[in-house]
Amino acid sequence: MRSMRLIKRVILVLLAIVLILVGVSYLLPGKTEVSRSITIDAPASEIFPYVNSMQETEKWSPWLSRDPETKLSYSGPDAGVGNTLNWSSDHPQVGTGSQEIVESVDDQLVKTALDFGPMGTASASFVLQPDGSQTQVTWGFLSELGLNPMSRWMGLMMDRWVGGDYERGLENLKSLVEGQG
């Protein structure tokens, strides 16, 4: 009898904790943003081809080194709007998905749509801002988290999870572009 009451109390406490966590999740932000910038010693016209083509991103991507066995396929034009990358990896930090360029302004801006399958969708962007003979490159990420409580809690961690990768990718891009000159 006593053990039954204890089990009921434990179940009620666990249920209350779950309800509190779900309730609090709706007070959390409904979107998550990550952004990193770097200054590259080159004009935007030398950087733009590396961000305006999914094939060219292979040369500096921070994720491909995690799983060299990642399967990549491309469709659409070789660069610009419609250029699409599909990837598939068993590595949990690489996963499976697609990325398509949806907007491209020469030497200024590239926007992409990301689809991570069951993990959701997001958008990314590259903004190139000339600064004398250099260019500031800002790599941004935006995801609408919807009403899924788990997504909203995970959104709090996105900068920590993705920010370092963006920094490594931008450093790779800087080395690649500056090494060309």
CATH number at residue 171: 3.30.530.20
The confidence score (pLDDT) of residue 164 equals 92
Within a domain: residue 77? yes
Listed as ranges, residues in the chain with pLDDT below 50 are none
Q: Are 155 and 145 in contact (CB under 8 A)?
A: yes
Domain span at residue 152 reads 30-180
* Pairing, β 96-105 against β 134-144: unpaired
What is the domain count for the chain? 1
DSSP, collapsed to helix, strand or coil, labels residue 145 as: coil
| Stated pTM of the model | 0.82
Own/partner pairs, 36-39, CB within 8 angstroms, 24+ separation: 36/138, 36/139, 36/163, 36/166, 36/167, 36/170, 37/136, 37/137, 37/138, 37/139, 37/170, 38/136, 38/137, 38/167, 38/170, 38/171, 38/173, 38/174, 39/131, 39/134, 39/135, 39/136, 39/137
Residue 19, in any domain of the structure: no
| Cα 93 versus chain centre, distance | 11
Q: How far apart are CA 86 and CA 72, in angstroms?
A: 6
In a domain? residue 20: no
No. of helices (H) and no. of strands (E), the chain? 5, 7
Question: Which 8-state DSSP code applies to residue 76?
Answer: S
Q: Is 25 within a domain?
A: no
Q: What is the pLDDT of residue 137?
A: 98
Q: What is residue 181's predicted lDDT score, i.e. its pLDDT?
A: 60
Residue 15 located in a structural domain: no
In a domain, 158, yes or no: yes
| 7 CA to centre of own chain | 43
For residue 21, being part of any structural domain is answered with no
Residue 180: the pLDDT is 79
Tokens 């469709």 belong to 75
Alpha carbons 173 and 38: distance in angstroms, whole number: 9
**Which residues are paired to 130 by β-bridges?**
135
Structural domain contains residue 162:
yes
